[in-house]
């Protein structure tokens, strides 16, 4: 009896841990086919479309990172498409993550390479036209927290069965530095596509960080035919007029920072919005870099 009971307890604890390790729910009716939790000192992170060069898998961009990798694989209920599962899962994990790379369909590369070479889950080999991939970085907000990367891949096989694969890579200390170049490009791509980018930490008394100043400087210099604005949003118990005035002073201080760095700022403006321009899902007090419409 003891020999039967112990494995049952172990399996039960493992299942509970796998469900509680991350607050992510697969589409209703999904069946979890795989769960693993391991340390990987050379984890392969795909950040560009996969190509084949002389028979070898060669992503346009990639990183090798060290960290703790947690992975899940679900078989989706009949009738659930890879796009539906992708949307459900991404909505839960994207939070304030910075998109590092995203693709869909044939633009991602061969599904066979993602399944067998990248994720080593052959069941993910499906139709190229039905695959979706997303990788996003969640930077630590405090020194006590760690940064991590989410990787999401969904696909549909020729038998019309759909599957979803999810990774959470908790980065080891110092690994975040490997993302500097990718972050700059990702932030620029998002700003140009969406029209704005929230500058984390800039709403406090410290203003813009050195890395933010360098990024903005590069952006302004590379896009001199475009116009941008640092917009300060500020909430509080004061009257709206007082908050607007305070946010305008803050905005001017940010511009002074840029000027002191000898940055090219001819196409940079500032605006203090106070509490007047809320954005759904974003903090009431924040600093945004906004691309101004021509």
Do 82 and 22 form a contact (C-beta atoms < 8 A)? no
* Confidence at residue 181, expressed as pLDDT on a 0 to 100 scale: 75
Angle between helices 240-260 and 210-222 (to 10 degrees): 80
If DSSP codes are grouped into helix, strand and coil, which group holds residue 146?
A: coil
Tens digit of pLDDT per residue, the chain (294 long)? 444 444 444 444 444 444 444 568 999 999 999 999 999 999 999 999 999 888 888 898 899 999 999 999 999 999 899 999 999 999 998 876 888 889 999 999 999 999 999 999 999 999 999 999 999 998 876 655 689 999 999 999 999 999 999 999 999 988 988 887 777 777 787 788 888 888 877 777 778 888 888 889 988 988 889 999 999 998 888 898 989 999 999 999 999 999 888 777 889 999 999 988 888 777 888 899 999 986
Instruction: Please state the domain extents for the chain.
Output: 20-177, 195-292
Give the CA-trace dihedral at 58, 63, 69, 74, to 10 degrees: -40
Do 183 and 211 form a contact (C-beta atoms < 8 A)? no
Report DSSP state, residue 74. E
Check the CA dihedral 125-129-130-136 and report its sign. Answer: positive
CA dist 217 and 215 (Å) reads 5
pLDDT digits (tens, 9 = 90+) for 135-181: 999 887 665 568 999 999 999 999 999 999 999 999 998 898 888 77
Mind giving me the DSSP string for 247-287?
HHHHHHHHHHHHHHTT---TTEEEEEEETS---TTS-SSEE
Report yes or no on whether pTM surpasses 0.75: no
CA dist 254 and 287 (Å) reads 10
- Which residue has tokens 């002389």? 54
Q: Average model confidence (pLDDT) for the chain? A: 86
The strand pair at 268-274 and 227-233 is best described as: parallel
Q: How many CB atoms lie within 10 A of CB 79?
A: 9
- CA 220 → CA 187, 248, 267, 271, distances in Å? 13, 21, 7, 17
CA dist 237 and 18 (Å) reads 43
Q: Which two tokens stand for residue 17?
A: 């841990």
Please write down the long-range contacts of 61-64, taking CB distance under 8 Å and 24 or more positions apart.
61/101, 61/182, 63/178, 63/179, 63/182
CA dist 279 and 163 (Å) reads 34
* Confidence at residue 17, expressed as pLDDT on a 0 to 100 scale: 41
Check the CA dihedral 172-89-106-36 and report its sign. Answer: positive
CA dist 107 and 103 (Å) reads 6
Which CATH number is associated with domain 195-292?
3.30.1330.60
């Amino acid at each position: 009896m003891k020999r039967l009971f112990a494995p049952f307890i172990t399996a039960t604890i493992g299942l509970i841990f796998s469900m509680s390790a991350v607050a992510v729910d697969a589409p209703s009716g999904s069946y979890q086919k795989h769960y693993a939790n391991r340390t990987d000192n050379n984890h392969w992170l795909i950040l560009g479309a996969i190509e084949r060069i002389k028979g070898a898998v060669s992503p346009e961009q990639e990183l090798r990172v060290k960290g703790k990798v947690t992975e899940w694989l679900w078989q989706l209920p009949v009738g659930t498409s890879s796009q539906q599962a992708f949307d459900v899962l991404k909505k839960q994990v994207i939070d304030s993550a910075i998109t590092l790379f995203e693709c869909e369909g044939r633009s991602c590369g061969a599904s066979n390479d993602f399944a067998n070479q990248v994720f080593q889950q052959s069941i993910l080999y499906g139709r190229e036209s039905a695959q979706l991939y997303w990788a996003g970085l969640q930077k630590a907000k405090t020194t006590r927290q760690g940064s991590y990367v989410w990787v999401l891949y969904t696909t549909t096989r020729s038998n019309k069965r759909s599957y979803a694969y999810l990774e959470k890579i908790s980065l080891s200390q110092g690994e975040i530095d490997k993302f500097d170049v990718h972050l700059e490009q990702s932030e620029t791509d998002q700003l140009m596509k969406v029209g704005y980018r929230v500058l984390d930490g800039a709403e406090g008394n410290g203003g813009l960080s050195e890395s933010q100043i360098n990024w903005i400087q590069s952006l302004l210099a590379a896009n001199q035919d475009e116009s941008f604005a640092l917009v300060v949003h500020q909430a509080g118990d004061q009257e709206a007029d007082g908050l607007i005035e305070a946010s305008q002073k803050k905005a001017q201080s940010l511009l002074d920072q840029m000027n002191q760095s000898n940055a090219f700022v001819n196409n940079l403006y500032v605006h203090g919005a106070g509490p007047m321009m809320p954005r759904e899902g974003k903090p009431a007090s924040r600093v945004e870099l906004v691309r101004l419409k021509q």
